[in-house]
Chain A
Amino acid sequence: MQPIVTNALTKKFGDFTATNAITFEVKQGEIFGFLGANGAGKTTAMRMLCGLLRPTSGEARVAGYDVYTQADKVKRNIGYMSQRFSLYEDLKVKENIRFYGGIYGLGNEAIREKTRQLLQKLEMEAEADLLVSALPLGWKQKLAFSVAILHDPSIVFLDEPTGGVDPITRRQFWDLIYEAASRGVTVFVTTHYMDEAEYCDRVSIMVDGRIQALDTPRQLKAQFGADSMDDVFLKLARGK
């Protein structure tokens, strides 16, 4: 069974159709890039998959659960990190980890063990008692990602996770994503950076609420006769 399956998923706000009958599947352990210009309907689609918005029509199953009737089960099995900060700046690193572990129902013992592993992996043991506001941006983002998958979700949704970060930190961030995917976590990521699209296993491009292209970056480039994903994106956006 695929982690994400949608069939003609549609969301209307009044007369405006934000997401128009999108149908796609995401495979287990895949890094799935979800691209589109601002206002193309990416965020709306993502919010429906996370159980934040109720679809107008169509079907969607996430982690095997129906987004209409089993939103609570969906929420329990996904991780989420948004472009804006998911961490509390006035809480210490340790306290943030404990808080998110706690709201996902992890026990004290599990949280302690997870905290130790996480800090070790990020080499942040010395910063455990610092307020998050004292950390550099790149560290905050890596920490936010690690916290988003603290409860071992089968799918993690990343909404423009690398906004405003320098290329080196972005590269390091993607190492974390690869590492998670290699452990079988399915990664659903939206991004503005076309170089990041190249890192994805498969990419979908939304234009005006519809999915206009969906394939591996290599095949998309071949299909549109483009050198880079940037070209593919521009051709699609202009060709409408």
Chain B
Amino acid sequence: MRQFFVFARKEFYHIFRDKRTLLILFGMPVVQIILFGFAITNEIKNADIAVLDQSRDYYSTRLVQKLTAGGYFRIDRRLQSHRTIEDAFREGRIKMAVVIPPEFGQSFFHLKKAQVQLLADAGDPNTATTLINYASSIIGNYQQELNGQTQLPLTIDTTVTMQYNAALKSVFLFVPGVMTLILLLVSAMMTSITIAREKELGTMEILLVSPLPPPLIVLGKVVPYIVLSFINALMILALGVFLFGMPIRGSMVLLLMECVLFVLTSLSLGILISTVTDKQQTAMMASMMGLLMPTTLLSGFIFPIESMPLPLQWLSNLMPAKWFIIILKDIMLKGAGLEVIWLQTLVLCGMTLLFVAMSIRNFKTRLS
């Protein structure tokens, strides 16, 4: 036990004296979260719209007020005729146009049906879809409000509710994604590099000649990174919650335990990489190209898995990150318990055991 502490202390010296390592450990998570949270975002704030209100009655005015009240839309101009809509789009300032036909209120109550036309600039399809979704949901609310007043269901319409993330905040997707990436990167890449470094410098040989049992050597190298990765996870969660208002609806204890599990999965992957490489450079490239790239692309972090071709969907099952992102989202946004995410948890446990077993086998073949 004493030997272990001596070893772990040495490892902390290495980490805290290497500015590059420190930067990757603590600088990168903050920068990534803030970049993804603020800069690279799908959500819409104050999108400029044009309004063509041909009705100009009480109900149509209220509707326009509703649209602009949430802070999502801002009226750039009011149009007088259909012909000017095209021009407004061409100028490039507005993202969406709302057209309310004549006698809006009247149609709603007497014909039991009213129409609103939404036109969006689909040059950027993602934004267009998001805008239309926002606007539809606001109009839907308004309609319910009107129905409420009269106590009569006057129209039947599908209402879309954006469950768990009503405001469609993209940061809710990015926080679990970035957290997964960072934990994977720190745990897998840093461990594989640190073990490869001992080999490259020749100190690994000295350690193997010493009475330290090999599992203790690996443990001594890995445990400091478990601690640091866990601190990292807490840091990212805190940023998500306090800076971006991300909810944690499920059990905090379960969430942290799943974090520890994923850290272990990543570490065992890092150890596995280090058993097949002797150079820090190779370890880094293997982690970057072999882990980071496929994880970013296939884990569902950026591209939805459901819209991938079938072979890629199968491939995505091999990414530990995919399972962890599901776990994070389920616990944080849906408040799910272990009874919901047991399968994902089991997959991660299985992967960890597999990586450890493969590492031990590789290590033994090298020794004999």
Contact A72 B14 (CB under 8 A): no
What 1/0 mask marks residues of chain A from 48 to 92 whose CB sits below 8 Å from any chain B CB?
A: 001111100000000000000000100110101111111111110
* With contact pairs A82-B202, A102-B3, A102-B6 given, residues A90 and B211 touching in the complex (Cβ less than 8 Å): no
Q: How far in angstroms is the closest Cβ of chain B from A156?
A: 11
Residues of B within 8 A of A89 (CB): 201
Contact B3 A90 (CB under 8 A): no
How many positions in chain B have a CB within 8 Å of any CB in the partner chain? Answer: 25
Cα distance A103–B201 when bound, in Å? 18
Residues of B within 8 A of A53 (CB): 367-368
What 1/0 mask marks residues of chain B from 1 to 28 whose CB sits below 8 Å from any chain A CB?
A: 0110111011001100110000000000
Kindly name the residue among B2, B10, B212, B368 whose own CB sees the greatest number of chain A CB atoms within 10 A: B10
Residues of A within 8 A of B209 (CB): 50-52, 75, 78, 80, 157
Contact B206 A82 (CB under 8 A): yes
Interface of A is mostly: loop
Contact A99 B10 (CB under 8 A): yes
Residues of B within 8 A of A157 (CB): 209
Q: How far in angstroms is the closest Cβ of chain A from B207?
A: 7
What 1/0 mask marks residues of chain B from 93 to 110 whose CB sits below 8 Å from any chain A CB?
A: 000000000000000000
User: Among the listed B13, B208, B212, which residue makes an inter-chain contact with A52, where contact means beta carbons less than 8 Å apart?
Assistant: B208
Contact B367 A95 (CB under 8 A): no
Residues of A within 8 A of B145 (CB): none
B210 and chain A: residue at smallest CB distance? A103
A-B contact pairs, 8 of them (CB 8 A): A52-B367, A76-B211, A88-B10, A88-B201, A99-B10, A102-B7, A103-B212, A105-B211
Closest 3 CB pairs of A and B: A84-B202, A102-B6, A80-B209
Q: State the B residues within 8 Å of A (CB).
A: 2-3, 5-7, 9-10, 13-14, 17-18, 201-203, 205-213, 367-368
Sample of 9 further A-B pairs with CB below 8 A, known A72-B211, A80-B205, A81-B206: A51-B209, A53-B368, A75-B209, A95-B13, A100-B210, A102-B7, A103-B6, A103-B207, A103-B211
